[in-house]
Each structure stands twice: as C-alpha cells, then as structure tokens.
Amino acid sequence: MAIKSKQLKLPELLGELNELEKTILPRVAQISLNRAVFDGRERLRQEAKTGAGRFDKISNFTLSQFRYNKPQQVGKNLEASVFIVPRINNGNAPSKYLAPHIYGGSAYRTRFQRLLETTDRYIGRNSKPILSKKEIMTPVLKNSLVRKSKFGGMSRGQWSTIADQMRGKSKPANNRYFYIGDEIQRAAATNGNPIPKKGIYLRKNKKISLIMKQNPTPNFGSKFKFFEYLDNEVPKSFEKNVLKEMNKAF
C-alpha cells in the first residue's frame, strides 16, 4: 500500500510563543498528535460503515484492521501514522483486499480463490481447475449451513474443510462438499433437468445445498478515499486539540 506523509507545523498554528509556552509545547504536541491519529482511524471506520465510502458489506474484523501508531520522537520531529494492517497470521492481508476499493481495480484474489485456480492442487475432471482468474467463489451467507465466524463471514474452519475436500484430502460419505460446474450444467440441460447454479454444494443427510456461488471477479472504483479522509480529519483534529491543550495549560 502506498505511503503518504503530511507535516503539521506548530509555530504556524500558534504564532509567536513566549518562553513558558515553549516549555509545555512538546507535551501539547504529543497529546494532540495522538488524538489526531486516533480521530483519523475513527474517521476511516465511520466512512467504511456509513459514510460516502461505505462498503456494502464489511465485517467487524475488517474495521478492526484500521490502526494507528502513537507519536514517537524521530530526530527533532514527532511522527505518528494511520494504516491498514499489512499482514496477519493464517489469513488474507487486510491492506491487500481493501486496496482495490482505495485505488480501483479487480477484487483481491484470496488464498482460497488462488487455490481453486491452481492446477497442481485440485484439478477436477480433465485436469481443469475450478476457477479461472476472472472468477471468484463467495459464501451464500443466508444459508444456515454456512457456519459464521464472530465477524459475520464464513468460519475459518469451514473454509479449511472445503479447501481440503476440493483438493481431495478428504472424501467423507456425509457432509461432503462437491463442485457443480459447466459439465454438470450441460448434462442437466441435455436431459431437460433444472440447471443448477455453478458453485460448491454440501451433501448432508442425502440433501444438497448451495454453499458457495461462482461469480465473475468484481471490479471496484476508487470509492474509499483513504488519504482524503485522513487529510481532512488529522490536521483538523490536531489544530483543535493543540488549542484546547494550550488553553487548559493557561
């Protein structure tokens, strides 16, 4: 993810300072900058949930990945930052899957999507991968058989189980996941049967249910104005808090 910096200069904000004011300035700057980056982080969360940059669906987990670093002294300057977590253990990096919403472009291909398009893993009949690079597989969250995580999406355990079965690591008689694609659709059409949707189904107690739908990979415009929100919020908050802290001190 790109990095953008902005310099905030206290003397321009406060004018000429007397000697007493200069002694408290470092603490005022520390407190004010800390509050400013906190407010910047909160602005990002608000915009993601309800603002002009709102996502149609966003989990509490993703919202929690907007973070800030507290001010640190670097030479003669204080430095702080607001960022999206660049990596996590056993998952997709939030900064990567949010990047298309910030810069525009195709949806980020998660580990699961890449697994289904890799021919040396699950290759299916005739050595054909399930997905092309122009397709994704998304959970049918309204289906009660999709196990939910505490963040509202499909649970990590179910993702893992589906991935293992798609790669042929396990083949249970019940609770079996299987893929319906072009070949089964063509066979259904030839036989005059209803044509099922392309995707991953669960066979449970002799009944089948669509768990994940196969769709074209979506493209996004740069709707989430990450840097613009921060450029607006951080200086405004910093100025407000500097003046507040100086007034408190005197």
β-strand 105-106 against 219-220: which pairing, if any? antiparallel
Integer CA distances (angstroms), 250 to 11, 68, 127, in order: 18, 30, 76
Structural domain boundaries, residue 64: 10-93+221-249
Q: Contact, 78 vs 30, CB < 8 A?
A: yes
> Using one digit for the tens of pLDDT, what is the confidence trace for 62-89?
899 999 999 999 998 899 999 999 988 8
Is residue 55 helix, strand or coil? coil
Domain-embedded: residue 102: no
Number of structural domains found in the chain: 2
| Predicted confidence (pLDDT) at residue 131 exceeds the cutoff of 80 | yes
Q: What value does the mean pLDDT of the chain take?
A: 87
Region of 45 please: left (phi>0), alpha (psi -120 to 50) or beta: alpha
Are residue 161 and residue 87 in the same domain, yes or no?
A: no
| Predicted confidence (pLDDT) at residue 246 exceeds the cutoff of 90 | no
Residues pairing with 154 in the sheet: 148
- What pLDDT score does 13 carry? 64
Instruction: Enter the pTM of the model.
Output: 0.79
Give which of 5, 24, 26 is closest to 73, Cα–Cα: 26
Region of 75 please: left (phi>0), alpha (psi -120 to 50) or beta: left
> Using one digit for the tens of pLDDT, what is the confidence trace for 29-39?
999 999 999 99
- What pLDDT score does 43 carry? 97
Give which of 54, 202, 50, 204 is closest to 140, Cα–Cα: 202
Are residue 177 and residue 115 in the same domain, yes or no?
A: yes
Are residue 67 and residue 116 in the same domain, yes or no?
A: no
Are residue 211 and residue 236 in the same domain, yes or no?
A: no
Are residue 118 and residue 133 in the same domain, yes or no?
A: yes
Are residue 199 and residue 232 in the same domain, yes or no?
A: no
Give which of 38, 44, 23 is closest to 249, Cα–Cα: 23
DSSP 8-state code for residue 202: E
Give which of 233, 200, 27, 21 is closest to 115, Cα–Cα: 200
Domain-embedded: residue 192: yes
Mean pLDDT value of segment 184-201: 82
Domain-embedded: residue 26: yes
pLDDT tier, 6 (very low <50, low <70, confident <90, very high otherwise): confident
Are residue 181 and residue 116 in the same domain, yes or no?
A: yes
Domain-embedded: residue 238: yes
Residue 54 corresponds to which tokens in the numbers above?
């709102």
| Predicted confidence (pLDDT) at residue 201 exceeds the cutoff of 70 | yes
Q: Would you state the torsion angle of the CA atoms of residues 45, 48, 51, 57, taken in this order, to the nearest 10 degrees?
A: -140
Cα separation of 161 and 73, whole Å? 47
| 187 exposure class (CB count in 10 Å sphere: 0-12, 13-18, 19+) | exposed
Are residue 115 and residue 196 in the same domain, yes or no?
A: yes
Domain-embedded: residue 134: yes
- What pLDDT score does 173 carry? 81
Please provide residue 47's backbone torsions phi and psi, each rounded to the nearest 5 degrees: -65, -40
- What pLDDT score does 245 carry? 86
Q: Among the listed ranges 52-56, 127-131, 184-188, which one has the minimum average pLDDT value?
A: 184-188
> Using one digit for the tens of pLDDT, what is the confidence trace for 10-23?
656 666 666 666 67
pLDDT tier, 182 (very low <50, low <70, confident <90, very high otherwise): confident
Domain-embedded: residue 36: yes
Residue bearing the bigger pLDDT, 56 or 230 = 230
Domain-embedded: residue 195: yes
Are residue 130 and residue 147 in the same domain, yes or no?
A: yes
Are residue 145 and residue 245 in the same domain, yes or no?
A: no
| Predicted confidence (pLDDT) at residue 58 exceeds the cutoff of 60 | yes
Segments of the chain assigned E as strands: 66-74, 77-84, 105-106, 135-139, 176-180, 199-204, 207-216, 219-220
Domain-embedded: residue 100: no
Is residue 191 helix, strand or coil? coil
Are residue 19 and residue 66 in the same domain, yes or no?
A: yes
Are residue 85 and residue 122 in the same domain, yes or no?
A: no
